[in-house]
Chain A
Amino acid sequence: MVVGRDEDVAQLRRGVLEYCVLALLREQERYGFELARALAEVDGLVTSEGTLYPLLARLRRDGLLETRWRESPSGPPRRYYRLTAEGRAALERFRAEWTRFRDAVDHVLGTGRPR
């Protein structure tokens, strides 16, 4: 890996995005478009909303998400996504890991926030 390329940040983002999606479904189930807009609100998280759907399909295949169809007030039924038990467990594991990881990297990079 050559240090300093744009690709590195993109890979980092891609690896973390899955858990951000899981986190957004922690409290409630959401449908695709809703998720896309929620992610877009957080700056720097998604570049292209369309790439969300391959990710959602992957999470379903891995058993971290399940879906169901619900009627929508404004048109055809919507597919709603929600966490499975495995998804919830994976999310909690990552949250613990992430805090440690983030603190460690911040410490070394000197980017940590003052306590």
Chain B
Amino acid sequence: MTTAASDPAVRRYLDELRRATQHLPHHRRDELIEEIEAHIREALATHAREADVREVLERLGDPHAIADEESRRLGIDRPRAGAHEWAAVVLLLVGGLLPILPVVGWFVGFVLLWASRVWSTRDKLIGTFVLPGGLVPAVSLLLFPPPIPVAQTCRSVTRMREDGPTIVLTLCEQSPMAGILATAALIVLVLLPVLTAAYLVRRALAASR
């Protein structure tokens, strides 16, 4: 017999409930989650086969519906994704590339992200720190590729002159390794912001269901 807390379906349900209620006042939110947990515990006290767990969670209902009911009973609005959220995603991704005041674009996106009531703190941290600047690092790498010391092969050439000082030249060229490293870096620098943006969009849509 599995205890209520350890069942994966129960944990998923409670996680969804926590996400659905994160806009509620802290005290009432904690209380509600405890009440639902206690309900599940009571329901599964006698037996906890797979089908029973599913039935209990089904009868409990959609976590978003419960969160909606709580919002209604508290007289507050459930925040839904809107223009501010979409603007935040676009600016975080490409705002840094604007021809006029480049960094400001990303920064405005950053402010909109943190001011939003739709995303959780975890979402906001991911949106901020996975790759700050959005696509700016990738574009910078394309426009201004830095020389990579590790990927250079250098050789010395010595010039001796009868009537002057000995000149030693060091010639370095980028090895093929450099090209591979640069391409890999570029891929990562493009993928990370795009995936982060997609993640934020998905979370915003889920919260507005």
Contact = CB atoms under 8 A, between A and B. Distances in A.
Interface of A: 31-33, 36, 40, 47-51, 53-58, 74-76, 78-79
A50 to B, nearest CB: 4
Given A32-B39, A54-B70, A48 B32 contact: no
23 contacts: A33-B43, A48-B59, A48-B60, A49-B60, A50-B60, A50-B61, A50-B66, A50-B69, A51-B65, A51-B69, A54-B69, A54-B72, A54-B74, A56-B35, A57-B31, A57-B70, A57-B73, A58-B74, A74-B45, A76-B41, A78-B38, A78-B42, A79-B38
Interface in B21-72: 28, 31-32, 35-36, 38-39, 41-43, 45, 59-63, 65-66, 69-70, 72
Interface of B: 28, 31-32, 35-36, 38-39, 41-43, 45, 59-63, 65-66, 69-70, 72-74
B59 A53 contact: no
Q: Interface SS of chain A: helix, strand, loop or mixed?
A: helix
A50 B63 contact: yes
B39 A33 contact: yes
A48 B61 contact: yes
Nearest to A53: B35
B38 A50 contact: no
B73 A58 contact: yes
A51 B70 CA distance: 8
A79 to B, nearest CB: 8
Contacts of B69: 50-51, 54-55
Contacts of B41: 75-76
A66 to B, nearest CB: 15
A79 B35 CA distance: 9
